[in-house]
Amino acid sequence: MQNRPEQQNERLTFLGVGLSFHLLYNLFVKTNYNKQDQCTVYECHGQLVFALNSQKILPENAPVRLASAQLEELDYRKLYRTYSSRGRKSAVEPRVMFKVIVYGYLCGIYSSRKLEEACRYRVDFMWLLEGQKAPDHTTIARFRTGRCREAIEDLFYQFVRKLEEMGETDHRAVFIDGTKMESRAGRYTFVWRKSVEKHLAKVKAQVERSTGFTSTQELRAWLEEFAQNITFVHGSGRRKSPGQKEWERLSELLERWEQYENMLSTMGEGRNSYSKTDEDATFMRLKEDHMRNGQLKPAYNVQIGVNSEYITGIELFFDRNDVRTLQPFL
């Protein structure tokens, strides 16, 4: 066993080492952390959380400041009227959401997911949110395709009038030009008027030859009455009666008849085609013809009015001819 003086020496040595380590730790903290004026220190994980002030980071001539100042002068009452006074409050104020979308378009950001990412990680978008939580892509898409659509035209023309009040435009001369823009619809989703009319005429002829009816209402009423006298059978090994076969054939013709009429109704009077995945788009011949075969693509005829280098009017048409779009655009 060790004697008492040796045990005391070991204890003193251990205390000395511990005291030295404590002094070194305090010295390290004082020389490194005390200089961090703009951060919060979590010593348990060694993590620094900086107090970010976007107001100081953004320069005075930042584009987001100018865009926000211009949009702040608009009247948003029509936009706010699309919201109900009942229920929970919106995640982001409608005025701020409109600013985010407009500024995103100025930056070339159109996707709702990209806008959400910008609101979370870009300082200029954080400043534009005015301290509110970043909206998710679902909220952005719902606002853009729902409530904002009802007020977007009013806000646009408010801004046009604001430009005139500022002396930026005079409207003494407005230049109008049209261009065809390809839709994002599939290229092979076309519906042609001539094809639909030809198939519809065949269906009508078959129905009239079989029953003598010339309208869908007459045929539907007859099928409902005829079905009461038929015993329907289904499944393998069961033979259908001639009456059931005739009823099914005429029911299929009725369904096709109504389908073709719906296609013509969707197409309207002024065009000869549309896309199944974008019913507002019409198939047109565009300048960009990579295959050089004159292929028609789903597109829009965009008419733009320009005054003093500002777009003061814009409208989408499905008519391919600019002559027929001039009068309604004016």
Instruction: Encode pLDDT of 155-181 as tens digits.
Output: 888 888 888 888 888 878 889 988 888
| Angle of helix 94-106 versus helix 148-165 axis, rounded to 10 | 70
Same-domain pairing of 251 and 319: no
Residues 228 and 252 both lie in one domain: yes
Orientation angle between helical segments 112-121 and 94-106, nearest 10 degrees:
100
Instruction: Tell me, yes or no, whether 18 lies in a domain.
Output: no
Query: What does the pLDDT read at residue 159?
Result: 87
What is the rounded average pLDDT of the residues 35-53? 53
Q: How far apart are CA 93 and CA 67, in angstroms?
A: 17
Q: Does residue 289 sit in helix, strand or coil? A: coil
Same domain, 68 and 139: yes
Does residue 293 carry a pLDDT above 80?
no
Q: Say yes or no: 185 and 321 in one domain.
A: yes
Q: What is the DSSP letter of 135?
A: P
In which band, very low, low, confident or very high, does the pLDDT at 9 lie, cut at 50, 70 and 90? low
Instruction: Provide, rounded to the nearest whole percent, the portion of the chain with pLDDT above 90.
Output: 24
Strands (E) across the chain are located at: 39-42, 47-50, 175-182, 190-192, 273-275, 282-285, 296-307, 310-317
Residues 222 and 299 in one domain: no
Q: Are 77 and 155 contained in the same domain?
A: yes
Q: Which domain holds residue 195?
A: 190-272
Cβ neighbours around 66 below 10 Å, total: 13
Count of structural domains within the chain:
3
Asked if 123 contacts 57 with a C-beta cutoff of 8 angstroms, the reply is yes
Of 272, 292, 321, the residue that ends a domain is 272
Average pLDDT (20-47) is 49
Q: In terms of pLDDT, which residue wins out, 256 or 88?
A: 256
Q: What is the pLDDT of residue 81?
A: 84
Q: Quick check: 243 pLDDT over 70?
A: yes
Q: How does pLDDT run across 92-149, given as a tens digit for each residue?
A: 888 999 999 999 999 999 999 999 999 999 989 989 998 888 999 998 998 888 877 7
With a cut of 60, say whether residue 318 has pLDDT above it.
yes
- pLDDT at residue number 34: 44
